[in-house]
Amino acid sequence: MPKSFGRYQVLGVLGRGSMGVVYKTKDPVIGRLVAIKAIPETLGLETGKKQEYIRRLLQEAKAAGSLQHPNIVTIFDAGEGELGPFIAMEYLDGVTLKEVLSSGKKLNLAQLTEIARQVGDGLDYAFQRGIVHRDIKPANLMIVENNMVKIMDLGIARLPFSDLTREGRLVGSPSYMSPEQLRGEKLDGKSDLFSLAVVIYQAATGKKPFPGQNIQEICYRIINSEFVPASRLEPSLPAEFDQFMLKALAKSADKRFATGKELFDNLRRLLVEKEPVPPGKSREQEEMEKEIPTTVVKREDAVSVGSSSTSSSSESAIDDIFRDLTLTHRSLKLSSEKESKVWQMVIGILAGVAVLGVIIWYFIRG
């Protein structure tokens, strides 16, 4: 394990991805924790390509570094260390949606809507500044304290797909990629919204909409095949959810929701109890005239939608919206931290006993 990256002192490993390792580090100047993504990818490249890769990576990091949004991980710094280039970013203490889903959990409508609200908001903010994520997937969404969802790796997750296919290699799985991304076309925000919709479908049903045994099969399905209606896999979902998914996962970008806000608004509508519409008004008119709630709130058993003002209330049940998803992971994390401390103690004691044994043996002999 490297000791440091520039001034950042390495404390441990946070995780591993296809591009490299993410380290937990400390910035001694400011005293804050920083996550460092090291990208040793460039080590095997010839000099020209390596320089080009690093230039593009730092350029992307610069663009992502200019973003300031509560749902986007903040990029602090980028540089080149012994292990190749690295990106320094806000350290998050949380659970990725990938960890949640791989434990077999499914999300309810209120939780899905909250994910759509926060991720949609972060993506809209990035799109307005000309940045497309290109790699929205459960591993890049982290649930942290106060029910915040953070988008990770925005703009830096990987170089554009088209470049990688030109190189003849594919990093990661294409399961969350839009048809236009797989075709190597120019992307806009709707491509990320397609990926977000794949995440929502999987989180709701426990299954990916376009499964496959291999990359070719997955790509073929994303570009050509329909998907199983979500309500067939998860009967508690309303039929309207299937309609929502048809639009969110439309093959043609023009037929999808235009913004994250639009995607969220349409999902949120499924949560709102259908009140009778006054005579002479359309449902759309009625909804437009109502105050648009911005935060999903889960109260006891009933799920309703409240205005954003409720989110500051400490007794509000919003504090618990992701509780059932993250609880086991938090306790697992705590117990594995405890376990590793116990192991450190055991190794320490054994080493001490061994040293003592050597000393005693030395005295007995001499």
Active-site positions? 135
Per CB under 6 A, 19 contacts ligand ATP: yes
CB of 15 to Mg ion, least distance (A): 8
Q: Which is nearer to Mg ion, 17 or 229 (CB)?
A: 17
Q: What is the spatial distance between Cα 199 and Cα 222, in angstroms, rounded to a whole number?
A: 14
Site string for ligand ATP, 164-193 (x = CB under 6 A): --------x---------------------
| 248 contacts 193 by C-beta, under 8 angstroms | yes
At 48, list the tokens: 């020209």
Q: Which of 57, 139, 182, 249 binds ligand ATP (CB under 6 A)?
A: 139
Per CB under 6 A, 96 contacts ligand ATP: yes
Q: What is the spatial distance between Cα 271 and Cα 117, in angstroms, rounded to a whole number?
A: 13
Q: Which of 54, 57, 64, 73 binds ligand ATP (CB under 6 A)?
A: 73
Distance of CA 256 to the CA centre of its chain: 21
Inter-residue long-range contacts of 340-345, CB under 8 Å, 24+ positions, other chains counted: none
Look at residues 175, 177, 141 and name the one whose alpha carbon lies nearest to residue 162.
177
Q: What is the spatial distance between Cα 118 and Cα 271, in angstroms, rounded to a whole number?
A: 16
Q: Which of 18, 103, 225, 313 binds ligand ATP (CB under 6 A)?
A: 18
Distance of CA 231 to the CA centre of its chain: 24
Please spell the DSSP secondary structure of 25-42, one letter per residue. Answer: EEETTTTEEEEEEE-GGG
Q: Which is nearer to Mg ion, 27 or 153 (CB)?
A: 153
Residue 287: C-alpha distances to residues 263, 266, 280, 295, 302 (Å): 16, 11, 14, 16, 21
Q: Which of 27, 41, 114, 153 binds ligand ATP (CB under 6 A)?
A: 153
Residue 198 C-beta-side C-alpha neighbours within 13 Å = 28
At 27, list the tokens: 């910035």
Per CB under 6 A, 248 contacts ligand ATP: no
Per CB under 6 A, 102 contacts ligand ATP: no
The entry of Mg ion, ligand ATP, none near residue 22 (CB within 5 to 8 angstroms by kind) is: ligand ATP
Per CB under 6 A, 321 contacts ligand ATP: no
Q: Which of 83, 112, 152, 193 binds ligand ATP (CB under 6 A)?
A: 152
Per CB under 6 A, 92 contacts ligand ATP: yes
CB of 8 to Mg ion, least distance (A): 19
Q: What three-state secondary structure class fits 322?
A: coil
The entry of ligand ATP, Mg ion, none near residue 78 (CB within 5 to 8 angstroms by kind) is: none
Report the residue number whose CB is nearest to ligand ATP: 17
Look at residues 182, 181, 184, 154 and name the one whose alpha carbon lies nearest to residue 60.
154
Look at residues 181, 188, 139, 176 and name the one whose alpha carbon lies nearest to residue 161.
181
Q: Which of 124, 153, 180, 265 binds Mg ion (CB under 5 A)?
A: 153
Q: In sequence order, which ranges of 74-108 are alpha helices (DSSP H)? A: 97-102
The entry of ligand ATP, Mg ion, none near residue 16 (CB within 5 to 8 angstroms by kind) is: ligand ATP
Per CB under 6 A, 40 contacts ligand ATP: no
Stretch that binds Mg ion, among 3-11, 69-77, 149-157, 327-335 (CB under 5 A): 149-157
Look at residues 279, 262, 320 and name the one whose alpha carbon lies nearest to residue 120.
262
Applying CB under 6 A, the residues found at the interface with ligand ATP are 14-19, 22, 35, 37, 73, 89-92, 96, 135, 139-140, 152-153, 157, 172
Applying CB under 5 A, the residues found at the interface with Mg ion are 140, 153
